[in-house]
Amino acid sequence: MNDETLCCCEYYDSLNERNHILACCCNCVDLDEAVDSLIRGKSVSEKNKTGFLNTMQERLRIPWIGGARQIAFDTILPVFILPIMLFLASISLWWTVFSFTTVAIFLLLIFNFFIRAIPNTKFFLTWTVTSILLLYFIFEFVVIPFLEILVEENIALSALIFFFIICFYTTKIKANELAQLGIEATESLVGKSINGFYSCQICNAKIPDKDHHCVWFDCCISKYNQFYFISALFFAVVALLYSSNLTLTSVCHPFRFYKAILLPDDCSDVYYQFELSLSFVSAIYSLILAAILLMLLLQQLMLISVGFSLKEWNKLTFLSKLCLGLNKKRPHNRGFIKNWSRILCLNKPQYHPLDREV
Amino acid sequence: MITKCVQCICALVIFIAVYFPSRHARHYDYIHLKDVISELVFNINNKFSQEKNCEYGALILNNTEIIIADVTQTKYFIPPLIGGEFIPQTFTVEQNNTLPFNRAEMMNYGAKIAIESNIYGCSHRPRHMSSSLDTFRYNLPYLTLFGGAISILTSHFKKVNGMSNLFFGWGGEDDNFYNRLESHQILPYRFDPELSRYTMLIHKKQLKNDKRFQILNKPLNIENDGLNRLNRRYLVIPENLFTRIVVN
């Protein structure tokens, strides 16, 4: 191994040899042997099959500063699923219905599988990031060139997306800090039970005052980053609704609602042109996302008001959910105002490892 | 340091490229509502001249909008000017009180309402009328757009030798016409967006003309292409309310 720094497309493979990602299709011994035996009419040996899969996994890399990084197959999956879904959906109305329902069913099926089989999968995070990038690029490079959206409308939307990204990033940073704190706490209090810390199997950390683990953000949400989480949800909902409104009024026939707001009323001929249908389909996807996120946002607001964590809420029976859980014991409830002030004002957990004796 | 500078410059370039004004719909200068009257061309001569498109009766705003002031006892009625190409838009103003009939005030009311709706008349400069089209989200796609509904004085139309005959299929002819007007320093303008609202009827779209940019990029050939280069293979059929022209 030499000590030269790698360029962004290079990496050291399993034999510690320097390799380039552009050579990913060259020099695979197992593939050569497999093809060789196929041509000779022999069956492919098991060793060659696993060797080939390992080589493929090994060479599946993305360029990165300081050498190409290896990526897991499940991480890269949404990068293919989402564009294919939108592309197929733009063919016709029936394709839209078909591809959206297929993806929804696929997600429902794979959700529990991933949580159980690969708990720390980055699949959902990649899904979120790919959705944001895809929707933004479709808006900037397909919808804007229709020349129907004003500069200030574009800037307003970008500002909303910017605020969302800031909140999203802060949520993750804070979650990392909390996990770090959890490690410190366990180290300083070996063998003792720690009050207020909840272990998370997915991120393999102890989080103070944990609310739930959000797979789409790939981090834990606790009382200390819940404000940023809720802000992120809020900006995401507003940005998605605004962008879908701008897109739909551009590609469909709009009408004036109360003289000020433009709303779409006739989208019957969007499927005649690919750009129109792609924009339309991305707007529909945004609307679906906005509806789901809005429900999550309202649930979060309600749970904070009544003083439940999402984990406790999910354990409730249907009947007590109907009563908003008011008939059950709420160990973390401090009253409406205190619940909210805790969310809004708390930045760092009030925890000093040395002071506490349990 | 250098990498930081390069990153900053890249970010700036992307920012400008993304928010470049010409990638968006445009705000535009327009004649405000109160100045619209002074921009209209009133042709008081009521003779059936060749410039029929801008004739006005003494009390008629223009030949498509006719104001009728009317009161239950004293009816004031201006006979509609039939013979124009359009079905006239008629406004009746009723004085609904016990005071004596005030013809001038009723006229003013009628004129106010008639002006606030779209004006199908001529103005001193060519006018782009459909600058607030519903399918464009009531925005203007680009500043030199001169398509859709336009109005122009006959003298101006003759001066630029009409429009080009070379554009087959959708697109290009309006931009060419704008270039013609621009080359003669007759720059079009627009009225207040409130006077320029249009609804696009659902229609089957024409095939786009792929050669339109090719023709547009050629130097203008005003003398040999336009009004003076029409052949005689056309028929004029008078109908009840309009004139049909069939071109072979």
Does the distance separating the beta carbons of B24 and A254 come in below 8 Å? Answer: no
Q: How many residues does chain B have?
A: 248
Q: Is A140 on the interface with B (CB under 8 A)?
A: yes
Distance in angstroms (rounded) separating the CA atoms of residues A86 and A301: 32
E strand or H helix at B177? helix B173-183
Joined tokens for residue A284: 């529909």
| Helix extents (H) in chain A | 29-39, 46-59, 73-89, 93-117, 123-138, 151-188, 226-251, 274-306, 310-315, 318-322, 336-345
Collect all residues of chain A within an 8 Å Cβ-Cβ radius of residue B27: 150
CB-hemisphere CA count at 13 Å for B205? 10
Q: Where are the domains of chain B?
A: 25-247
Collect all residues of chain B within an 8 Å Cβ-Cβ radius of residue A158: 18-19
CB-hemisphere CA count at 13 Å for A248? 22
Nearest CA in chain A to B135: A253
DSSP-derived secondary structure for A30-64 = HHHHHHHHHHTTPPPPHHHHHHHHHHHHHH-EE--
Could you tell me which CATH class the domain B25-247 is placed in? alpha beta
Confidence (pLDDT) at A350: 56
* Residue of B139, B142, B200 with shortest CB distance to A150: B139
Other CB atoms within 10 Å distance of the CB of residue A348: 11
Q: In whole angstroms, what separates CA A140 from the centre of its chain?
A: 21
Confidence (pLDDT) at A80: 93
Distance of residue B98 Cα from the nearest chain A Cα, in angstroms: 36
Confidence (pLDDT) at A71: 76
Q: Is A147 on the interface with B (CB under 8 A)?
A: yes
Joined tokens for residue B102: 């005030």
Does the distance separating the beta carbons of A154 and B137 come in below 8 Å? Answer: no
Instruction: Please calculate the CA angle A297-A301-A305 and round it to the nearest 5 degrees.
Output: 170
Enumerate residues 6+ apart whose C-beta is below 8 A from A224. Answer: A174, A178, A208, A209, A346, A347, A348, A349
List per-residue pLDDT tens for chain A, 358 residues long: 455 677 777 777 777 777 787 777 777 777 888 888 888 887 777 777 777 767 777 777 777 777 777 777 888 889 999 999 999 999 999 999 999 999 999 999 988 888 887 777 889 999 999 999 999 999 999 999 999 999 999 999 999 999 999 999 999 999 998 888 888 877 776 555 556 677 888 888 888 888 888 889 988 898 888 999 999 999 999 999 999 999 999 999 898 888 788 999 888 888 988 999 999 999 999 999 999 999 999 999 998 888 888 888 888 888 888 877 777 777 777 888 888 888 887 666 655 544 444 4
CA distances A50 to A21, A37, A54, B132, Å, are 21, 15, 6, 64
- Tell me which of A277 and B206 has the higher pLDDT: A277
Strand partners for A222: A210
Distance in angstroms (rounded) separating the CA atoms of residues A51 and A60: 14
Contact B24, A151 (CB under 8 A): yes
E strand or H helix at B236? strand B234-238
Q: Give the DSSP letter of residue A181.
A: H
Confidence (pLDDT) at B142: 93
Distance of residue A149 Cα from the nearest chain B Cα, in angstroms: 5
- Tell me which of B239 and A229 has the higher pLDDT: A229
Distance of residue B95 Cα from the nearest chain A Cα, in angstroms: 29
- Tell me which of B208 and A86 has the higher pLDDT: A86
Q: What is the CA radius of gyration of chain A?
A: 25
Q: 3-class DSSP state for residue A191?
A: coil
pLDDT at B188 over 60: yes
B229 Ramachandran zone, left/alpha/beta (phi>0; psi -120 to 50):
alpha
Q: Is A156 on the interface with B (CB under 8 A)?
A: no
E strand or H helix at B158? helix B154-159
Contact B190, B153 (CB under 8 A): no
Distance in angstroms (rounded) separating the CA atoms of residues A237 and A251: 21
Q: What is the CA radius of gyration of chain B?
A: 23
Joined tokens for residue A191: 């063998």
Strand partners for A295: none
Q: Using H for helix, E for strand and C for coil, what is the string for B15-27?
A: HHHHCCHHHCEEC
Joined tokens for residue A181: 């704190």
What are B99-157's pLDDT values in tens digits?
887 777 877 777 777 666 667 777 889 999 889 988 899 999 999 999 888 888 888 88
CB-hemisphere CA count at 13 Å for A310? 16
Does the distance separating the beta carbons of B24 and A147 come in below 8 Å? Answer: yes
Does the distance separating the beta carbons of B135 and A144 come in below 8 Å? Answer: no
Enumerate residues 6+ apart whose C-beta is below 8 A from A293. Answer: A233, A236, A237, A240
Other CB atoms within 10 Å distance of the CB of residue A227: 21
Contact B119, B195 (CB under 8 A): yes
Distance in angstroms (rounded) separating the CA atoms of residues A177 and B176: 63
Q: What is the crossing angle of helices A93-117 and A73-89, to 10°?
A: 170
Joined tokens for residue B176: 């060419």
Cβ pairs bridging A and B (under 8 Å): 52
Question: Cα dihedral angle (A134, A140, A143, A147), rounded to 10 degrees?
Answer: 180
Distance in angstroms (rounded) separating the CA atoms of residues A280 and A90: 8
Contact A244, A153 (CB under 8 A): no
Other CB atoms within 10 Å distance of the CB of residue B46: 12
Q: Is A8 on the interface with B (CB under 8 A)?
A: no
